[in-house]
């Protein structure tokens, strides 16, 4: 819930419902990134930058006011595990930038994926997920959620109807990454969202690798997940995550979505659909905060929320450079005689290319580039060891350029066959292209390939 200290004070508050929607709808991303959300300046000091509210708790109004706060009938903050004004400012701005209605910031991307699913699925339920997932999400679904009694049915994202075939009465959500690596084939968001509508199943899309350049909510996704650790933070300094709710009609599907429709004994026996309607707010985000964040924690720290606001402010600008640099790198690798294959959406063909053209903002293919050296595994290792500018890091979305050899690092615990199935060939190298001058990036690649 994007809660506010004082509903009468328009400098720091807005009615809960429109948070993230109306105020800047007609403005461009660059402008929303700097001005989105109801925060304008700090009313006590006039500070223009959002202050870091480094506090655990908040002075409650009188006992009547406190009753209302605890019952979620009045806006306000109680305890930073559940909400905080710096976090609130970040959530509002992110929701607005995403074209969503409300957001919840969390302590990591892993927490965001877990919350996104646990908000809908309980023991005995299942979700259907694209198989091409970040390894941490795969482990969460295949092992940890399985141990909670939630089954994940993994399907091939190349065939949207596979989601329908895997669906039964206990399917509560569809899940996918918009731009999964290593294959970098864009997920068919609209096609699977459409299938979801047949059954009342919301589609959750992890858009970590493609913020702003792929717009899942515009294509029918119900919820967007981020590891804000990557491009949103943008500088490799802070771990965080977020979920953003769009306009999916959660209220229309009582049998399909029991967590939102059944009475919750911890909130006066009302359902989350009813609770949200009573305060003109969004049921999915409201429950995620009031139930999961309350019970599981995984709160984002105020300092990290501040860092993510800083990141959002330059995100559109940074992404333009990330994407432009990545395309220069991909073009360079494509022509290099020692490179056998370049994995980059621009060079795809058939359905994968058609999807890239449909879902990416024109001319933006993201900043991840994969390639294979003709010398295979050993050449991949020598290449990594020869890099001077690139960092050898298991991360993406830093301002600095990063490289990794998945077969011997991130995917080393998979069998050779499983590695191949996920698209990791022995010589595959993944690059996350940063903001350095492209000539310097190319020079480092040139010398490292020569040494490989």
Contact set with ligand PLP (CB under 6 A): 108-110, 113, 134, 136-137, 177, 206, 208-209, 227, 229, 239, 241, 396
Within 10 A of 339 (CB to CB), how many other CB atoms are there?
20
Nearer to ligand PLP, 171 or 228 (CB): 228
Handedness of CA 130, 131, 137, 138 (dihedral sign): positive
Nearer to ligand PLP, 256 or 318 (CB): 318
Residue 220 C-beta: closest distance to ligand PLP, Å: 20
- Cross-strand partners of 368: 432
Task: Report whether the peptide linkage leading into residue 182 is cis, meaning its omega lies within 30 degrees of zero.
Answer: yes
Residue 343 C-beta: closest distance to ligand PLP, Å: 16
Residue 366 C-beta: closest distance to ligand PLP, Å: 12
Residue 111 C-beta: closest distance to ligand PLP, Å: 7
Shortest CA distance to 379 belongs to which of 416, 329, 429, 431? 429
Nearer to ligand PLP, 108 or 364 (CB): 108
Nearer to ligand PLP, 137 or 425 (CB): 137
N-term to C-term CA, the chain: 52
Residue 377 C-beta: closest distance to ligand PLP, Å: 23
Nearer to ligand PLP, 87 or 208 (CB): 208
Nearer to ligand PLP, 113 or 271 (CB): 113
Q: Please report the DSSP string for 177-235 in residue order.
A: ESS-TTTTPPP-HHHHHHHHHHHTPPEEEE-TT-TTTS-GGGGT-SEEEEETTTTTT-S
Nearer to ligand PLP, 155 or 224 (CB): 224
Q: What is the dihedral of CA 277, 281, 286, 287, to 10 degrees?
A: 20
Residue 170 C-beta: closest distance to ligand PLP, Å: 25
Residue 402 C-beta: closest distance to ligand PLP, Å: 11
Q: Per 3-state DSSP, what percentage of the chain is helix, strand, and coil (rounded to 5)? A: 40, 15, 45
Q: Please report the DSSP string for 241-310 in residue order.
A: EEEEE-S--GGG-TTT-HHHHS-BGGGTTB-HHHHHHHTT--HHHHHIIIIIIHHH--PPPHHHHHHHHH
Residue 275 C-beta: closest distance to ligand PLP, Å: 29
Q: Which residue is nearest to ligand PLP (CB)?
A: 109
Nearer to ligand PLP, 164 or 224 (CB): 224
- Show the tokens assigned to 13: 């508050």
State how far the Cα of 452 lies from the Cα of 449, in Å rounded to an integer: 5
């Amino acid at each position: 819930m994007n809660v506010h200290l004082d509903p009468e004070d328009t400098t720091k508050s807005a009615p809960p419902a429109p948070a993230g929607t109306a105020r800047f709808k007609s403005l461009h991303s660059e402008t929303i990134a700097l001005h989105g959300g109801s925060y304008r300046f700090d009313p006590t000091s006039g500070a223009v930058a959002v202050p870091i509210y480094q506090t655990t708790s908040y002075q409650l109004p009188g006992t009547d006011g406190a009753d209302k706060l605890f019952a979620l009938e009045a806006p306000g903050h109680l305890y930073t595990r559940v909400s905080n004004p710096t976090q609130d400012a970040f959530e509002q701005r992110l929701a607005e930038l995403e074209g969503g209605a409300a957001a919840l910031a969390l302590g990591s991307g892993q927490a965001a994926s877990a919350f996104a699913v646990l908000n809908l699925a309980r023991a005995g339920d299942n979700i259907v997920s694209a198989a091409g997932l970040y390894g941490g999400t795969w482990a969460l679904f295949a092992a940890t959620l399985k141990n909670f009694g939630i089954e994940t049915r993994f399907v091939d994202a190349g065939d949207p109807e596979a989601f329908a075939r895997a669906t039964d009465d206990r399917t509560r959500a569809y899940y996918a990454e918009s731009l999964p690596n290593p294959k970098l084939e864009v997920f068919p968001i609209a096609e699977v969202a459409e299938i979801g509508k047949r059954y009342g199943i919301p589609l959750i899309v992890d858009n970590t690798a493609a913020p702003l350049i792929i717009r899942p909510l515009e294509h029918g996704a119900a919820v967007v997940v981020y590891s804000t650790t990557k491009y949103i933070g943008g500088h490799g300094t802070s771990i965080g995550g977020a979920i953003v709710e769009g306009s999916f009609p959660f209220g229309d599907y009582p049998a399909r979505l029991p967590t939102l429709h059944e009475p919750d004994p911890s909130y006066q026996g009302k359902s989350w659909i009813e609770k949200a309607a009573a305060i003109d707010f969004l049921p999915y985000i409201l429950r995620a905060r009031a139930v999961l964040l309350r019970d599981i924690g995984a709160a984002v720290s105020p300092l990290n929320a501040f860092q993510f606001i800083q990141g959002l402010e330059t995100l559109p600008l940074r992404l333009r450079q990330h994407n432009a640099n990545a395309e220069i790198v991909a073009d360079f690798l494509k022509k290099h005689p020692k490179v056998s294959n370049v994995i980059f959406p621009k060079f795809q063909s058939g359905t994968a290319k058609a999807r890239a053209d449909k879902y990416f903002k024109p001319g933006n293919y993201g900043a991840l580039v994969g390639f294979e050296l003709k010398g295979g595994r050993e050449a991949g290792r020598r290449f990594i060891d020869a890099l001077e500018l690139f960092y050898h890091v298991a991360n993406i979305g830093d301002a600095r350029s990063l490289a990794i050899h998945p077969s011997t690092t991130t995917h080393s615990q998979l069998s050779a066959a499983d590695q191949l199935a996920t698209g990791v060939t022995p010589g595959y190298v993944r690059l996350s292209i940063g903001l350095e001058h492209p000539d310097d990036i190319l020079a480092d690649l040139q010398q490292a390939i020569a040494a490989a």
